Amino acid sequence: MAKGEKVTYGNPDVGGQIEIEARQCWATPDKFVSWLAAQVGQFTLDPCAVRETTKAPSYYGPPGYRPDRAPVGEKPAPKWLGEDGLIQPWGDHRVFCNPGFSNVRPWLMAALAASREGAHAFVLTHSSTAQWFREFEPLCTRIWLPYPRINFAPPAGIKAESNPRDSMVWEFQRGQHDPARIYVPPIWDTKKRAK
């Protein structure tokens, strides 16, 4: 994948087509999201998605985005709630969010704020010891360390590559704080083994 390569999402007929840097919009595998939902309950909101990548029945798209209609024969389209999940209310939803890994701090801030209003939020990020990790680690409910490494699905027309980084799932829930905080869950993909 060429650096700076773009993908296009949205509906040009209503002025809602946007370009996103391809490396920032790889989708979380459905198998991983299903596994996580089996642990915590079904997700009801994805605040950082497009119709093609959402992992919940309701979602917010990026600024400027308007969804295309679902192709004929495809399962019913998820409900688009509007633009920019960073500034929209997350309510009391169970939230799954996989933001572009280049700028996760605002999404962790939004998840923390939303959890104080009643949301139960899960934010998937790359494993890191950056400043944002040190800032949010004491504020989250728990950090899940999934194994094996998650290989994300590329946008249409982009060649699949293996993921060179480990991931973390940040959990935020009002009034809940796990003193151990770092959680190593059971293996999520038992068919995939470390080499």
Q: What is the CATH number of domain 6-183?
A: 3.40.50
Give the start-to-end residue ranges of the domains of the chain. 6-183
Q: What is the pLDDT of residue 195?
A: 47
Distance CA 55, CA 7 (A): 19
Within 10 A of 192 (CB to CB), how many other CB atoms are there?
Answer: 13
| Mean pLDDT value of segment 38-63 | 91
Contact between 121 and 109 (Cβ < 8 Å): no
Whether pTM > 0.85 for this model: the answer is no
The model's pLDDT over 85-131, given as tens digits with 9 standing for 90+, comes to: 999 999 999 999 998 777 899 999 999 999 999 999 999 998 877 88
